[in-house]
Amino acid sequence: MAAPKEISSTKQFGGFNKRYEHESSTIGVPMKFTVYFPPAAEKGKVPVLYWLSGLTCTDENVIQKSGVQRDAAEKGVAIVACDTSPRGLNVEGEADSWDFGVGAGFYLNATEDKWKAWRMYDYVVKELPELLRTHFPQLDTSNASIFGHSMGGHGALTIFLKNRDKYKTVSAFAPICHPSNCPWGVKAFTGYLGSDKSKWEEYDATVLAQKFSGNKDFHILIDQGSQDNFLHQKQLLPEEFAEACKSNGIGVKLRMQDGYDHSYYTIATFMPDHITHHVKALTSS
């Protein structure tokens, strides 16, 4: 596994935002990711907190807009943010709409031939952690957690529920909670996975919560703005996920935040709570 190429570095709160590019064997094209190394990474290994972004975003959105670095620096945790889809494959129709194709990988492994390079699930769960483990000894990839926003919240919830051995806990901002039952999800799942809805269930957080039978010694935190237009358009359906969790004995706190929307203003406001949530799990063992 070749070393990633550093393409930028900026100092912030005593640590560094470093952006990298590497040849992805999973995706088949170069992929970019950013790591915020807290000051503690200069002295020893630090836990890893993976961030998954939403539709149209790249690895840079959370780095530039959320203010996550202040709390990550204070708590001594690294933030790893990856891209949301392959880019540069020039697949016909990949950029025809903002909610499918480029910038809209939905953190799944596509099974339809045309979209076979859209394997963001394997990239996040397998390739990226192995890359970090191989080339960044200051990152303790065995002590990791995951969170995300919107489509990335969907990705964080599903990846966590399918891989309890890899992540200590999970949280999300305005996640797409029941994609099999909302317009965004139906469009993406039909395009990437075909019409067989049994395949859809593998990437639906609400269905996974209903069926989950593993160790339930974790607690899920979700922040959802009450003025989120996508909430009112029935794209997110957090109440359905919360009910699925509660009916199956999974601890979940769904916080409805009055007056807040779907933007990074909301994420920045409640980011400190999410960092605290993850650090508690990452430092409990």
Helix (H) or strand (E) holding 143: strand 139-149
Q: φ and ψ at 195, to 5 degrees? A: -90, -10
Q: What is the pLDDT of residue 1?
A: 77
Give me the half-sphere count of Cα atoms (radius 13 Å) on the Cβ side of residue 242. 17
3-state secondary structure of 196: coil
192 within some domain = no
pLDDT at residue 285 tops 80: no
Catalytic choice (24, 53, 66, 150): 150
The range of the structural domain enclosing residue 272 comes to 5-173+219-226+255-283
In the chain, what percentage of residues exceed pLDDT 90? 98
- Helices (H) and strands (E) in the chain — how many of each? 11, 9
Check which CATH number belongs to the domain holding 98 and give it.
3.40.50.1820
Catalytic choice (149, 262, 274, 277): 262
The two beta strands, 15-23 and 5-12, are: antiparallel
At 163-172, the pLDDT tens digits run 999 999 999 9
Query: CA 186: distance to chain centroid?
Result: 19
233 within some domain = no
Q: What is the pLDDT of residue 226?
A: 98
At 131-159, the pLDDT tens digits run 999 999 999 999 999 999 999 999 999 99
- In angstroms, what CA-CA distances link 169 with 117, 128, 209, 234? 28, 18, 14, 26
Task: Give the pTM.
Answer: 0.98
133 within some domain = yes
Tokens of 141: 């990839």
120 within some domain = yes
Tokens of 32: 């970019």
Any catalytic annotation for residue 228?
A: yes
- In angstroms, what CA-CA distances link 122 with 41, 195, 255? 27, 22, 30
Tokens of 230: 């996508």
Q: Are 121 and 154 a contacting pair, CB within 8 Å?
A: no
Q: Are 102 and 85 a contacting pair, CB within 8 Å?
A: yes
73 within some domain = yes
Any catalytic annotation for residue 178?
A: no
Any catalytic annotation for residue 262?
A: yes
186 within some domain = no
89 within some domain = yes
Catalytic choice (59, 71, 223, 228): 228
At 11-69, the pLDDT tens digits run 999 999 999 999 999 999 999 999 999 999 999 999 999 999 999 999 999 999 999 99
Dihedral (CA of 164, 239, 180, 231) sign: negative
242 within some domain = no
Q: Are 171 and 282 a contacting pair, CB within 8 Å?
A: no
**In the chain, how many domains are there?**
1
